[in-house]
Amino acid sequence: MNAFINISYIVASILFIFGLKMLSSANTARRGNMVSALGMLIAIVATLLHEGMSYQWIILGLIVGGLIGSTAARLVKMTAMPEMVALFNGFGGIASLLVGWSEFHAHPDSPTFTLVAVSLAVLIGGITFSGSLIAYAKLAEKIDGKPLLFSGQQVVNGVLVIAALLLVIVFAASPNAYPALVLLILLALALGVLAVIPIGGADMPVVIALLNSYSGLAACAAGFVILNNVLIVAGALVGASGLILTTIMCKAMNRSLANVLFSGFGSAASGGGGGYQGEANPVSVDDAYYILEAARSVVFVPGYGMAVAQAQHAVRELGELLEANGAEVKYAIHPVAGRMPGHMNVLLAEANVPYEQLVVPEDVNPIMSSVDVAIVIGANDVVNPAAREDKNSPLWGMPIINTDHARTCIVCKRSLNPGFAGVDNPLFFKENTRMLFGDAKKSFQELVSQFKDS
């Protein structure tokens, strides 16, 4: 039986790897998801074949977890996906922490290698859990999204990290180190909070990617604790892919990975911006229609405001009408648009926007000056020209989508208020910018009606 279980784990691991690879392409992503799901099913069934399993608790866990998951899937809105992902990361971390804790409780005389794995599962899992709860609270606006800083914060964090590593050594070296384990759990939870509170809410996409990596590393450590090969492989895959995604996010925001790892990340991006003055040029839906009707190239730039308004279907319908009118249509997606990695991609995929029309900033920026109309839908920081023009701006140096270089830029927004980062946007006052004030969904539905009635 053990040989069959190990072979099943190998098959599941292979399916995880192939499924992850298939997720890199839109054409194979759905199939890759199913392949990975099949791998997880095989892993679960193989695990249930182990001797001495307590099935009554497993069945109870399946029922409770299934009810919670299905309820969340039905009730949680797309705009709340970032905070739900943050919670899922946290649940993964606390699960690894509890696995390590329970294994030590059951086998306190474990060898040193297992004790090291237990301590790492507890440390990383605790940081992931409490850090993810803070990320959730900031994304859900349960607490202020601005960075929370205090004097000597870096020193305090450094001392806690050193203390945690010392506790790992003490725990692994001592046969009766239960107090050290309890202290390690408390330190891990404190570190998670202190690592995330100095990070601004607008920088949460990077934090979510990093916490996702942490949850994978915690699961990998838990796999070494219980000697489960498939958990080791799956955790390593999640940890590595999350770290790669974190690097991509950092590059997109012109920040180093060290800023994330040693906290304080995003604190520079707080504050009120440059206090730009000027006169915005509002545009009515009727006037916006005439501008778009004459356009031969249009680039949509979606942001979190599109998610709040649930305007993605109206945007896709307008895009199709523009194509029918002879315009070339693209959708420019900034890596950190929205509040989690891939947020805009998910919304546009839900609206059945062709993947081939999605472009990244480096593809569209060189041709932006030849674009007739750039339509910004609730985005702010990722199109803020202060990142190029104002060295005193908190966004200075961040790669943006150069919508201000288009012949006409239409910004669909409720008001002139700054975005989630709290930084003013001089784009609103550019000569070629027209502000289409109001609810994005309603505005685009009216534009769609104009095209259909013409």
Catalytic positions:
381
Rounded-to-integer distance, Cα 314 and Cα 302, Å: 12
Rounded-to-integer distance, Cα 294 and Cα 413, Å: 22
Cα dihedral angle (96, 145, 341, 16), rounded to 10 degrees? 10
CA dist 116 to 3, 113, 154, 187, 240, Å?
A: 27, 5, 26, 16, 21
| Helix (H), strand (E) at residue 318 | helix 312-324
Query: Environment class of residue 362 by beta-carbon count within 10 Å: exposed (0-12), middle (13-18) or buried (19+)?
Result: exposed
Token digits of residue 330? 């693209």
Nearest to 407 by CA among 373, 431, 364, 448: 373
- Do 385 and 276 contact (CB within 8 A), yes or no? no
- Do 316 and 348 contact (CB within 8 A), yes or no? yes
Nearest to 224 by CA among 103, 94, 93: 103
Find the angle CA(65)-CA(66)-CA(68) to the nearest 5 degrees: 65
Nearest to 122 by CA among 178, 182, 194: 182
Token digits of residue 328? 């070339």
Residue 400 DSSP code: -
- Do 283 and 436 contact (CB within 8 A), yes or no? yes
**Rg of the chain taking only CA atoms, in angstroms:** 25
Task: For the beta carbon of residue 92, count every other beta carbon within 10 angstroms.
Answer: 24
Rounded-to-integer distance, Cα 163 and Cα 25, Å: 43
